[in-house]
Chain A
Amino acid sequence: MARYDRAITVFSPDGHLFQVEYALEAVRKGNAAVGVRGSDTIVLAVEKKSTPKLQDSRSVRKIVNLDDHIALACAGLKADARVLINRARIECQSYKLTIEDPVTVEYITRYIAGLQQKYTQSGGVRPFGLSTLIIGFDPHTGTPALYQTDPSGTFSAWKANATGRNSNSIREFLEKNYTETSGQETVKLAIRALLEVVESGGKNIEVAVMTKEQGLRQLEEAEIDAVVADIEAEKAAAEAAKKAPATKET
């Protein structure tokens, strides 16, 4: 097995590209990131590891703008993310200059996925170690979109998805609890999903909300705390409702 992961252009006998799979491992070790698409709002929520006291947290933004109407969050190697994001930002502007129209979410996702794929089929380079969640509104039709790419270069559209640490449990939660939401409900759903695997509290979660009119807005810690408190209250009420009928019977 060890012989087949030296140069990534080599397939293993059973059809694996080991470097790509190792990149996926790197993604699995990265911060949890959740994306939820509502009818008029799209939300990205990312786990924030505790910031050291002396670090300026504003320089460690995990959810970034690619253009006025497109945003990205990722899980995996942050340095690789920086390079990929810069290339995507340039491509957004280059497209705008040649076609005189902003990019569609699908186009920029295809571009990023294409870049990731290129690095799995070239000599002397390793794949990017990150999966991205890309959100945005179509500049022509205004429909919201959420896409995910991974180190192999595949991409697809999602109603809600998670990547990074414990993404499987988050995805299970979303599959059970996803409904068409809008506005604040979408924010709540995203945070609820992330809270499945992250300690609750505004300082452990970074949330950004995108609307067609206002573009991307990062939520303040206080706002996140408020929503978290809401969610906890709802949870407590649900638990109480479950217990109450039982006591009545006895």
Chain B
Amino acid sequence: MMKIDFSGLDPSLPVKGNAEDLDDEILAAPSFKLPVTVDFDGFQKAAVQMVKPAKGTTTLAFIFKHGVMVAADSRASMGGYICKALLILNLYKINLYLAASQSVKKIIEINPYMLGTMAGGAADCQFWHRNLGIKCRLHELANKRRISVAGASKLLANILYSYRGMGLSVGTMIAGYDESGAGLYYVDSEGGRLKGTRFSVGSGSPYAYGVLDSGYSFDLSVEDAAELARRAIYHATFRDGASGGVASVYHVGPGGWKKLSGDDVGEMHYSYYPIEPTTVEQEMADVRIA
């Protein structure tokens, strides 16, 4: 039976001496009563819909010859339901997103050789990545060797699965380098976990996938791979209103992760598409005041 993992919340519990409990860990996980409703499933669905942020972001990661390249934008938006009161100020009928911040760190450093990307609920991603970092460190201390990327991603996936249906919103990629080489896993709050070589997560991911898939090759150099990642994020921020800000690019190699660049996407636009001076067809004549 899956137990809800509260190990991230309150670790201090009195030791229970009951002989039956000895089959479980000595610190039995606490449980809480579920609310009394007529239609519990409906209640759950409504709760999840209420807190479901739109995963407004673009993140991507891919494995190549020299390790893993990880990139993300930095815009955090709050969905339309919060901004209903501000509709009168809203000049853009199509785009209802109010950019809450342009400088959110969406690539989370779990430990010196593993990165996690953030998509979905910012708090959920930050907290559970931090919790994962703690678990990885404890594993290292207990077993005198680093945890593998497969193991770390599985720990996170199991935790998220135990909270399934309770409104967590996490779409993350765990990228790292371990003994068996580069590792990249996609983990989400439904409890899914996928191993892969190329992933993009978020509302801007279709655009990022287009650029990434057409430019990808396993034998890219580090600079070329970084430029590919940067370009893919830029194109996604261009078309997707919920993505923007700064495109950060990280590289995870055998020696750990290293931040390669962080470029404002607006400036990137003008470096890719510099303003052409238009040819002058007609000179404006001075109108003489008669």
Contact = CB atoms under 8 A, between A and B. Distances in A.
Contact of B19 (A100, A104, A110, A122): A122
B143 A104 contact: yes
A118 interface: yes
A99 B17 contact: no
B148 A98 contact: no
A99 B145 CA distance: 13
Contact of B143 (A100, A106, A119, A122): A106
A13 interface: no
A100 B151 contact: yes
A122 B144 CA distance: 29
B150 A100 contact: yes
Contacts of A99: 147-148, 150-151, 154-155
A15 interface: no
A125 B145 CA distance: 35
A245 interface: no
Interface in B12-47: 17, 19, 22, 26
Contacts of A107: 142-143
Interface in A80-135: 98-101, 104, 106-107, 110, 118-119, 122-125
Contact of B17 (A98, A100, A110, A123): A123
Contact of A140 (B17, B22, B142, B145): B145
B223 interface: no
A100 B155 contact: no
B154 A122 contact: no
Contacts of A101: 148, 150-151
Contacts of B143: 104, 106-107
A98 B151 contact: yes
A98 B145 contact: no
A98 B26 contact: no
B191 to A, nearest CB: 14
B200 interface: no
B154 A98 contact: yes
B150 A125 contact: no
Contact of A118 (B26, B142, B148, B158): B26
Interface in B148-162: 148, 150-151, 154-155, 158
B179 interface: yes
A143 to B, nearest CB: 13
Contacts of B179: 140
Contacts, number: 37
B139 to A, nearest CB: 8
Main secondary structure of the interface of A (DSSP, over half): loop
- Residue of B142, B143, B158 most packed against chain A (CB within 10 A): B143
Contacts of A124: 17, 19
A244 to B, nearest CB: 53
Nearest to B23: A87
Contacts of B154: 98-100
Interface string B259-285: 000000000000000000000000000
A125 B151 contact: no
A110 B143 CA distance: 10
B189 to A, nearest CB: 19
A140 B143 CA distance: 12
A119 B145 CA distance: 29
Nearest to B21: A122
Interface string B117-130: 00000000000000
Interface string B63-86: 000000000000000000000000
Contacts of B147: 99
A104 B154 CA distance: 18
B17 A122 contact: yes
A111 to B, nearest CB: 11
Contact of B22 (A100, A104, A110, A122): A122
B19 A98 contact: no
Nearest to B145: A140
A123 B150 CA distance: 39
A107 B151 CA distance: 15
Contacts of B145: 140
A106 B143 CA distance: 8
The 9 closest A-B pairs by CB, nearest first: A99-B151, A100-B150, A123-B17, A124-B19, A98-B154, A100-B151, A122-B17, A125-B19, A107-B143
12 contacts: A98-B151, A98-B155, A99-B148, A99-B150, A100-B148, A100-B150, A101-B148, A101-B150, A118-B22, A123-B19, A124-B17, A140-B145
Given A99-B148, A99-B154, A124-B17, 15 more contacts: A98-B154, A98-B158, A99-B147, A99-B155, A100-B148, A100-B154, A104-B143, A106-B144, A107-B143, A110-B142, A118-B26, A122-B22, A123-B17, A123-B19, A140-B145
Interface of B: 17, 19, 22, 26, 142-145, 147-148, 150-151, 154-155, 158, 179
